[in-house]
Structure 1
Amino acid sequence: MRSGLAILLLILLSGYAYAQSDSSTTAVPDSTAASIHSSDTLIRYRINGVYLKSIWQDLKYTVARPAHWEKRDYIRLGVVAGVTGVLLAGDYGVKQFFTHHQSNFTTSVTDQIEPFGNAYSPYLVAGMYVAGVIAHDRNLEHGSLMAAKSLVISTVIYATLKSIVRRGRPTYYDSPFNFDPPFTNDKQHTSFPSGHSLTVMTVATAMAELYGKDHPWVPWVAYGIAGLTGVTRLYENRHWSSDVWVGLALGHFVTKSIFRHHRELEHKKAMKLLAVSL
């Protein structure tokens, strides 16, 4: 995953691109609708200090989001926490199930899916950027920049969490409750959360946000691949089921927050233009 992210960052920092929002428009009075177009509210980033600063701003926004949650957000948190608790109780049983259901065919299949959480996802984002630049496709460039930003921020949060919660991997321990003190360097205690699951879900959520409205099949395919990638981590005995679940949930939450922030910024821009035109 580190090599994939390094290549992604290198490509992104090697050229220029623009980021734009979804195709939604801000409602304005009839008298000013003719003078304010959806293109006027777009926020476009060039790969420079402004874009890098936006990554920091999005990181702060994402970390602070819980302070602005509404009732429905706490309900979702309760669902995530509840499922996490159930999986914690069943982690050992899930490990035993996959351990006793290995086959050459299944292994050959999981070997093809597992890289989606490691190499494929970062390379996909980098490939989108290159293709967008070559084809002069602003929408594709926008998608790559937003996905890249989501991937960088989710990785920062994931790495911080993993350095604090030093959970033993099922590869080395039978007990799902084997922990080391925070910030230790023992590689055997790097199980929580699943980085593969977080990475692939981050990119899957970005694809769903970018293309799901116009192509309803995209979220089904993207989230399906993300889920299967998580299953491969269980099959390969690299993570506990609760590691995978939290990784998926965290990647989804972070990416949703970043896209939400982008829409909010464009809404503020539209309101400023409206105020000036009145």
Structure 2
Amino acid sequence: MKLLTIIVFTCSNICFGQVKSDSAGLKKSDVENYGDSVYKPSYKKLIISTVFIGFGVVSLSSDALKNLNSSTKYEIGEHQPKHITLDNYTQYLPAAIVYGYNLAGIKGKHDLKERTIIYGTSQLISAAFVLPLKHLVKEERPDGTNHLSFPSGHTATAFSSAHFLFREYKDENIWIALSGYPIALFTGVYRTLNDKHWVGDVVAGSGFGVLSTEIAYWIFPIVNKIFKNNESKGVTFIYPVIQSKSVVLGLVLNL
């Protein structure tokens, strides 16, 4: 089995775009008590993501799981569906739903600024997991286009977004909270149907996505304090857009 080392790194090619902050509609944070259990690490919350990541890692060397990858590719080839690019957009849809519900007046756990800090943090953490691993593992894609298959970045983004939706609305409306996971699953499935990833890549990506969002919530009190300290310098929050080889950040300023 290949030994995988997870490296947290400073993402290269980071671009900063400045936009004027619109403070209308922002309420004062009601999350002042950082003793809230939502921010406390719990090993129980790591079980699912750990199992999924473990499955993906084992799939790199297990003959049985390699056969699963191969048989899945064969079946897809036998019933090749029409290639679509919806998975390029559905990976972000659960996060967009959070902002959409807020605009509709259905409030979640955090206000606009706080949730954007949390989501931005989760995407940076996800990129810190996924991008180095792609270059360390160098697994060839099913379509042979390159050796950046493991883990699936689209799936990681999709499940980090879905878990973000879950975390924001699980105490408000459980059906809203769960609605992002089918969308994330669709994204992962279509990464295999489009011949871009093996099954193990997708499963591992989902694990890294959920884990990234969990970590983002755990460290939010620390990150939020950093942003509060920077408010005197004009910094409000960041918004990430993850691309194939880089992470672009929008830097929102109070002007």
Normalising to structure 1: TM-score of the pair?
A: 0.56
In the alignment, the residues of structure 1 paired with residue 31 and residue 197 of structure 2 have an alpha-carbon distance, to the nearest angstrom, of 45
Tell me which of 71, 83, 89 is aligned to 1:115: 89
Distance 1:40 1:93, change over 3 A: closer
Correspondence for 1:96 among 56, 74, 78 = 74
Match of 1:53 in 2: none
**Residue type of the alignment partner of 1:143:** R
Partner of 1:191: 149
CA contact (8 A) 1:205 1:223 kept: yes
Aligned length: 195
Which one scores higher on RCO, CA 8 angstroms, separation ≥ 6?
2
Q: Is the CA contact 2:95–2:164 (under 8 Å) kept in the aligned structure 1?
A: no
Structure 2: which 5+ runs fail to align? Answer: 1-12, 36-40, 225-255
CA distance in 1 between partners of 2:188 and 2:156 (Å) = 9
Structure 1 position 241 matched with structure 2 position 199: yes
More strand by share: 2
Residue 81 in structure 1 maps to residue 59 in structure 2: no
Q: 1:219 offset after TM fit, Å?
A: 3.3
Paired letter, 2:54: A
Given candidates 258, 265, 269, the residue that maps to 2:216 is: 258
Find the partner of 1:41 among 24, 33, 37.
33
Query: Which residue in the other structure is 2:230 paired with?
Result: none
Alignment-mate amino acid for residue 10 of structure 1:
G
Q: CA deviation at 1:145?
A: 2.0
Q: 1:202–1:254: 8 Å Cα contact kept in structure 2?
A: yes
Query: Please, which of 135, 139, 157 is the counterpart of residue 111 of structure 2?
Result: 139
Q: Post-superposition shift, 1:161?
A: 1.2
Greater Rg over alpha carbons, structure: 1
Once the two structures are TM-superposed, the CA of residue 153 in structure 1 deviates from its matched residue by 1.7
Q: Distance in 2 between matches of 1:20 and 1:228?
A: 36
Q: CA RMSD in A?
A: 4.1
Q: What amino acid is the match of 1:81?
A: G
Matched residues in 2 for 1:90 and 1:19: separation?
50
